[in-house]
Chain A
């Protein structure tokens, strides 16, 4: 932890992108779980996630980044899934 003598006056953050070091995943009480078999790769989850916690590789949904996912459930709500079956379900943490 920094001493007061080491701080930048005005609390200006002089480094870009430092918020990446602030991991918010521990706030989660429910976690989204991806059921690949029901996924149609529409990327609605990626579009709606407020925390950029949907991992997309080469244009494909591949799972979640649990370091930043706060468990809001927006992705699960928006996911159309396949034939009425959701590709994202929320499960309680610690279960």
Chain B
């Protein structure tokens, strides 16, 4: 049984990283993530971890160094937010293309311009196609748990992939909440020693990383990458199951909240899912059959399972804290795909998309209530207006 504490999301994640005691941490500070690497640097300075700390001159360099260290054969971490992730973009593809299991907390923040430091999901959604695994977290507890599990998932020898653990900037990263730490030795045992796969620092078996692969083989390598991504789901389930036995906290590919007998539902990520669950309860008390689905594993996306979980509903609103300008919200595109492929008797839920909370704009219970009541009307036969719409915006 772990220790109950009141800490910020950043402190919780920094402690998960301390408990993992990685070989190398390459870092560059950026709000709202800075607090994680700052705390981790203290752990290094105090001798609480054996990690070699590397202060890079940019996020591009931090990720490059992480790639080098991981190829060398070390357990490697870094952390970032927003513009930092954007600057890493080129290297993100290289980390995944080389199958290097780098662990990276991503404290979600809006992208410039205009400059904004607050929480939304534009950064993580922009990294959707980089070949990284993405786990999303509602609160400090989930961010802590996901960080610990991410070592087991990313480093699993069936996959060996880099992994981002996402949590909302400020809303979770800087708010103090109740959560439980596992004991240091429990985490150490759960994560286990680092297993090297084809390390570069092995003079007996010299090897090369990063060859030039042209038209004759590139397509085959990408097919292999697709195959490896396909194995992630089972690894996530297996690791989450084992973690559940250790911690008593259950995790799946996504969370279903009062969904089984629901008629209407929200699909919503991270901290705003917590707010929405309260409103689901309130509407249930009034006899409205509301539910909620909170994705956890966003890459690879569990289309079949999500499709199964939602296909019985009458109306669903997909809530996006990021926009794909000129397209629907990024989560809406996934849910639409999942529903189009879902097998059923031809009856599928009506889908709408709301963009909320950009640049840290508050998402309040009345926002959730308004959307759920609109869904309730659609479920009763009211026509769908605009498919995609901004909410909580001054008109």
> A4 contacts B99, CB within 8 Å?
no
- CB-CB < 8 A to A15: which residues of B? 207
Q: State A16–B228 Cα separation when bound (angstroms).
A: 26
Contact B224 A9 (CB under 8 A): yes
**Interface membership of chain B positions 212-231, coded 1 if the CB is closer than 8 angstroms to chain A and 0 otherwise:** 01001100110110011000
User: What bracket does the count of chain A residues touching chain B fall in?
Assistant: 10 to 19
User: When chains A and B are docked, how far (Å) is the Cα of A94 from the Cα of B210?
Assistant: 35
Main SS at interface, chain A: loop
A7 at the interface (CB under 8 A from B): yes
Instruction: Give the distance in Å from the alpha carbon of A13 to the alpha carbon of B209 in the complex.
Output: 6
Our pick among A1, A10, A16, A18 for the contact of B217 (Cβ within 8 Å) is A1
Contact with B along A1-21 (1 / 0, CB 8 A): 111110111111111101000
Q: With A10-B98, A11-B211, A12-B198 in contact, do A1 and B228 touch (Cβ < 8 Å)? A: no
Q: B160: CB under 8 A from chain A?
A: yes
Shortest C-beta distance, B169 to chain A (Å), equals 31
Tell whether, in the assembled complex, residue A3 and residue B220 are in contact, meaning their CB atoms are under 8 Å apart: yes
Instruction: Specify which chain A residues have a CB less than 8 angstroms from the CB of B209 in the assembled complex.
Output: 10-13
Residue-wise interface mask of A (21-56) relative to B, using a CB-CB cutoff of 8 A (1 in contact, 0 not):
000000000000000000000000000000000000
Q: Verify A12–B100 contact, CB threshold 8 A.
A: no
Minimum C-beta distance from A5 to chain B (A): 8
- Chain B contact residues: over half helix, strand or loop, or mixed? loop
Q: How far is the CA of A9 from the CA of B97 in the complex (A)?
A: 8
Determine which residue in A1, A7, A11, A14 has the highest number of CB atoms from chain B within 10 A of its CB, and name it: A11
Nearest Cβ in chain B — how far from A32, in angstroms?
25
**Which residue of the partner chain, among A1, A3, A12, contacts B208 with CB atoms under 8 Å?**
A12
For B206, give the chain A residue with the smallest CB separation: A16
Residue of B nearest to A8 (CB): B198
Chain B's closest residue to A22 (CB) is B212
**Which of B205, B207, B210 has most chain A Cβ within 10 Å?**
B207
Q: Which residues of B contact A3 (CB under 8 A)?
A: 220
In Å, the complex CA distance between A12 and B83 comes to 30
Q: Which residues of A contact B210 (CB under 8 A)?
A: 11
| Residues in chain A near residue B213, CB distance under 8 A | 11
Give the interface of A toward B (CB within 8 A).
Answer: 1-5, 7-16, 18
Give 19 pairs: A residue, B residue, CB < 8 Å, sorted on A: A1-B216, A1-B217, A2-B217, A4-B223, A7-B224, A10-B98, A10-B100, A10-B160, A10-B198, A10-B209, A11-B210, A11-B211, A11-B221, A12-B208, A13-B208, A13-B209, A14-B207, A16-B206, A16-B207
